[in-house]
């Protein structure tokens, strides 16, 4: 038997996630059983639970895209993995349970140098940051980039990875209270209370090579105004709750716009390439170039309490189930 968090109807996570006990099924010959030790609560989990991706999500389901564990058992046809191997099973959701049966080819190997909590926060945000900086904009020394929500967990990772490549970003935050959370070297800090603050802060900064936007809304156009012709605008979140307006594209025909979805990239790549990228990220975590703060840790059995603590998402660190 195992504990698992189950969603049987879409809605607010604090209301629809239920803790259940279930029997473990027989392990398939071609799968591994992973004993999960630590799990992160991420916006992507909450969005999926809400029903935003209902077209590709079948009810009931077990949430959790980011979970770390060790191989507990291997099916008879599995080669290359053995019990005790530290892994991140990344193909699908299902992390909010005690055990997960999965294809061994979708298990990223986790180095022993990472702690369990570091491992549990080493995939979604760090890999998304790596993808944007290296695969999307081709980060190189001397580039000028702007990052909004720069005091968030992923903002800190973006700044750390940029610094490691010799780049000091323009950091955009929403309040003075966020300043103390900024780590690393930045070219400038813009406090964006009103759109006029953002306009003033970006004045004279035309020629930015790339913008990494997780806010959306009308501010996107102001950020794009600071890009040089051909500059990259990468959109990866909607913290404002508002989509980029349709007028954005007509008024910025000379920029390179792209969305960033980690899941789509992982599913389109050879797993060897994904493992190589993850190994690079893990090395940056081990060397303290990047880090994720953990705010609170709850046992899986207290998943409802953990969700009430985690939501709404704010600066101050991740909430884990461990």
pLDDT (tens digit per residue) in 100-156: 999 999 999 999 999 999 999 999 999 999 999 999 999 999 999 999 999 999 999
Give the chain's count of helices (H) and strands (E).
11, 15
Q: Rg of the chain over CA atoms, in angstroms?
A: 20
pLDDT at 46: 93
Whether 34 contacts 99, CB under 8 Å: yes
* Residue 126 near residue 281, CB atoms below 8 Å: yes
Q: Is the dihedral of CA 33, 44, 109, 319 positive or negative?
A: negative
Domain ranges in the chain are: 2-122+292-321, 132-261
Enter the DSSP assignment of 174. Answer: S
Domains 2-122+292-321 and 132-261 share a fold: no
Of the candidate CATH numbers 3.40.50.720, 3.40.50.300, 3.30.465.10, 3.40.190.10, the domain formed by 132-261 belongs to: 3.40.50.720
Distance CA 199, CA 221 (A): 10
The percent of residues in the chain predicted with pLDDT above 70, rounded, is 99
Q: Can you state the angle between helices 271-286 and 153-164, rounded to 10 degrees?
A: 90
Residues in contact with 176: Cβ distance below 8 Å, sequence separation at least 6, in sequence order:
191
Which of 152, 156, 178 lies closest to 284 in space, CA to CA?
Answer: 156
Answer yes or no: is pLDDT of 314 > 80.
no
Domain 2-122+292-321, CATH class in plain words? alpha beta
Mean model confidence pLDDT for the chain: 94
- Per-residue pLDDT of 23-38, as tens digits, reads 999 999 999 999 999 9
Question: How far from each other are the two terminal CA atoms of the chain, in whole angstroms?
Answer: 17
pTM: 0.93
Q: Do 256 and 136 form a contact (C-beta atoms < 8 A)?
A: no
CA proximity to 64, closest of 30, 31, 99: 99
Instruction: Please write the tens of the pLDDT for every residue from 47-98.
Output: 899 998 888 899 999 999 999 999 999 999 999 999 999 999 998 999 999 9
Helix (H) or strand (E) holding 159: helix 153-164
Give the residue with greater pLDDT, 61 vs 203: 61
pLDDT for 241: 79
The strand pairing partners of 126, in sequence order, are: none
Average pLDDT of span 252-275? 95
Beta pairing partners, 147? 171, 212
């Amino acid at each position: 038997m195992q504990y698992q968090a189950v969603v049987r109807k879409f809605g607010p996570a604090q209301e629809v996630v239920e803790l259940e006990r279930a029997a473990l099924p027989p392990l398939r010959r071609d799968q591994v059983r992973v004993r999960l030790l630590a799990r992160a609560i991420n916006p992507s989990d909450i969005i999926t639970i809400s029903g935003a991706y209902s077209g590709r999500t079948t009810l009931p389901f077990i949430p959790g895209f980011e979970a770390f564990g060790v191989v507990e058992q291997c099916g008879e046809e599995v080669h290359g993995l053995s019990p005790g191997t530290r892994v991140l099973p990344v193909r699908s959701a299902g992390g909010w349970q005690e055990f997960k049966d999965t294809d061994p080819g979708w298990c990223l190997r986790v180095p022993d140098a990472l702690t369990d909590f570091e491992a549990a926060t080493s995939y979604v945000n760090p890999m998304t940051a790596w993808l944007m900086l290296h695969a999307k904009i081709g980060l190189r020394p001397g580039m000028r980039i702007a990052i909004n929500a720069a005091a968030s967990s992923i903002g800190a990772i973006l700044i750390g990875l940029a610094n490691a490549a010799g780049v000091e970003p323009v950091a955009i935050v929403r309040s003075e209270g966020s300043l103390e959370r900024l780590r690393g070297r930045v070219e400038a800090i813009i406090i964006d209370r009103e759109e006029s603050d953002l306009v003033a802060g970006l004045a004279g900064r035309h020629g930015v090579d790339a913008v990494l936007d997780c806010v959306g809304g009308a501010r996107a156009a102001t950020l794009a105004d600071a890009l040089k012709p051909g500059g990259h605008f990468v959109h990866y979140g909607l913290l404002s709750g508002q989509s980029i307006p349709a007028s954005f594209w007509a008024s910025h025909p000379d920029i390179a716009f792209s969305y960033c979805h980690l899941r789509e990239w992982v599913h389109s790549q050879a797993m060897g390439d994904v493992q190589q990228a993850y190994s690079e990220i893990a090395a940056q975590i081990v060397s303290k170039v990047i880090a994720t703060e953990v705010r609170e840790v709850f046992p899986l059995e207290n998943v409802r309490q953990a969700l009430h603590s985690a939501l709404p998402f704010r600066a101050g660190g991740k909430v884990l189930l461990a």
